[in-house]
Structure 1
Amino acid sequence: MALNQADLHTHTTASDGTQRPADNVRMAAEKGLAAIAITDHDTVDGIAEAMEAGAALGVIVVPGVEISTSAGGRDIHMLGYFIDWQNEGWREKLAGQLRVRDKRNELIVAKLRELGVAITMEEVTAEARSRGKEGGSIGRPHIAAVLLAKGAVRSMQEAFDRYLGEDGLAYVNPPRLHPFEAVDWIREAGGTSVIAHPGLYGDDDLVEDIIRYGAQGIEVYHSDHGAEEEARYAGLAAKYGLIATGGSDFHGERNGVVFHGAIGSRTVGVSVVDRLNPALRD
């Protein structure tokens, strides 16, 4: 049992996960976790359901979000914790993010069709809805799942390596929010900003720029970080006095494969939750 541990990075059907928010909380309880964060891409639509489940199961649910940004030609993700997720102004900002995400999906599908892959946005939307998704954001994993179902690829990983990742044939990156703007947004919403999975960017100079701008934490422990990355980012956290966070980046299971990591596979002590909460930190 993972007593006094927290998984601070999970996704649900509100974005591109395969499990409902309540399911994530239930699985956290089954793993013996004290806390779990719901950090869907550019939406907070899964938080209310998760918090209700947390109250019933005795699991602390941290309200969060993962904001899609871009800098230096790369996708950079910023996590926001304890944001005022019910604020209408905040929700309007996220709605704008979803419109950019929808445009990117359309451009990716168009590129795939140019490459001779028979795929439509209707099929992608149907895939998302088949997972119990009601609104929220649609992302690349939904496109990857359609490619897999059609036999265009043999695995989700191949879909990203061949078509959807930054080096993929169908990758597109429309103008997005800058990470600095995301830091500002999260601060204005009363939350705490954390750089997600910095080891995936291959640009520690940019990571340090975001830190110096005002990011308050860094995700040291992540399913795609090895021991070397964990040590390096733990060092950055110590150097700059940042909150060192961690999480599985759980997206659920597709075709028997868990995307990124299982709930509870990467955790930090539950005391980190208090450090992320501005009401307790200030």
Structure 2
Amino acid sequence: MIDLHAHSNMSDGLDSPTELVQNAAKAGVTTLAITDHDTTLGWDEAIIAGRQNQVRIIPGIEVSTRQLIGDNRSISVHILAYLPDPKNLALVQELEKTRLSRIERAKKMVALLAEDYPITWEMVQAQLPEGSTVGRPALADTLVSMGVVPTRSDAFTSILHSHSRYYVSDYSVDTTDAIALIRGAGGVSVIAHPLIDFPAGASMTDLPAEFFKILIGAGLNGIEIEHRSVPKQAKQWLKNLAVKHNLITTGSSDYHGIDGKDNRLGENRTEPAMLQRILDQASGFEVPL
């Protein structure tokens, strides 16, 4: 069973890299990608745990990007980077820029939240291992620990959603630039959970074909189609697009821990032939045995 999208507590997951791999083994996952947001800090621990638990580890990153649509609208796009060189200077510098922006954003959100809740930056830091990528989930976990909300999901629904007065946007690299960076680092780029905001009942003709044309032109290697957040009415369109452009297609859980999200390890899977295409195209990092 191949699951190519999962998070540890090096970003917004709740499991340590070791716990993540152990839970994958328990779920019957034999190949797992660790894809924390904008960091490779969990790779080494996950690789060691993989050897101990007979789980093949595919090191990756979920890169935060933003793509301009039309003249005045931009959207958040997450790109999964599989097997890039973790020491590639251009990629390292861009990831560090993103992580620093995430810290400043989180501090600003804490300041806004502190107007209504007794929250501090130190309380948020206590939720995270040293060096891990800071995101809204850390704020959510802090609110849970304070008793403000019962779960992380409740925090996002009621307080930390993108239209909340506490929400602050952050820096993200342009999506096409990110794809070029990943390719330059020997990695394989796959767009994560596309069209998650595509409205139910919308026409297939409303799908942003021009958006995908731009990404494919920039060198996008694949599309994560089998994911619980990808709308059912969009999946066949995406599959047809992948066939037309000979793109890799993947299926993944996007697991964040038992109490992180409802997503469960192995709930969506990648076909072995598609994993092999990733391995064949990657040159930045050798898959550990």
TM-score if structure 1 supplies the norm length?
0.87
- Separation in 1 of the partners of 2:171 and 2:130? 26
Amino acid at match of 1:183: I
Q: Name 2:58's counterpart in structure 1.
A: 62
* Offset, 1:279: 5.0
2: CA distance, partners of 1:161 / 1:225 = 19
* Whole-angstrom distance in 2 between the partners of 1:151 and 1:50: 32
Pairing partner for 1:26 from 22, 38, 46: 22
Whether the aligned pair in 2 keeps the contact of 1:217 and 1:243 (CA below 8 Å) is yes
Relative to its length, the structure with more helix (as a share) is 1
The answer on 1:268 being equivalent to 2:277 is: no
Distance 2:282 2:62 in 1: 22
Paired residue secondary structure (2:215): helix
C-alpha displacement at 1:86, in angstroms?
4.0
Rounded Cα–Cα distance in structure 2 between residues aligned with 1:49 and 1:278:
24
CA-CA distance at 1:226 after TM superposition: 4.3
Q: How far has the Cα of 1:93 moved from its partner?
A: 3.0
Q: Does 1:101 align with 2:102?
A: yes
Give the SS at the match of 1:138: coil
* 1:28 Cα deviation after fit: 1.9
Shift of 1:273: 1.8
Q: CA deviation at 1:78?
A: 0.8
Which residue, out of 194, 204, 229, partners 2:208? 204
For 1:107 and 1:153, the matched residues in 2 are separated by 20
> Is 1:150 aligned to 2:126, yes or no?
no
Q: What residue is the counterpart of 1:13 in the other structure? A: 9
CA contact (8 A) 2:10 2:42 kept: yes
**Do the aligned partners of 1:198 and 1:207 also contact (CA within 8 Å) in 2?**
no
Rounded to whole Å, the distance in 1 between the matches of 2:10 and 2:130 is 7
Give percent identity, aligned residues only.
34
Q: 2:257 aligns with which of 231, 252, 255?
A: 252
Residue in structure 2 matched with residue 164 of structure 1 by the alignment: 160
Output one character per residue of 1:100-130: Cα deviation in whole Å (capped at 9) or x when no partner: 111111122122234x2332211111122xx
Counterpart Cα distance in 2 of 1:124 and 1:88: 30
User: In the alignment, is the contact (CA less than 8 A) between 1:8 and 1:36 conserved in 2?
Assistant: yes
Alignment partners' CA distance in 1, 2:95 and 2:181: 10
Aligned length: 269
Which amino acid is the alignment partner of residue 123 of structure 1?
M
Distance 1:92 1:212, change over 3 A: closer
Query: 2-side partners of 1:166 and 1:207: how far apart?
Result: 24
Does the CA-based 8 Å contact 1:66-1:78 persist in structure 2?
yes
Letter of the 1:122 partner, please give it: E
**Coordinate RMSD, CA, aligned:** 2.1
Match of 1:230 in 2: 235
- Describe the superposition over 1:183-223 as per-residue Cα deviations: whole angstroms up to 9, x where unpaired: 01101110011111102244734344323322111110113
Query: What's 1:180 paired with?
Result: 176
**Structure 1: 5+ residue runs without aligned partners?**
none
* Contact 1:76 1:201 survives alignment (8 Å): no
Q: Which amino acid aligns with 1:244?
A: T
The answer to whether 1:216 aligns with 2:221 is: yes
Pairwise CA distance, 1:27: 1.9
**Contact 1:41–1:66 (Cα < 8 Å) also in 2:** yes
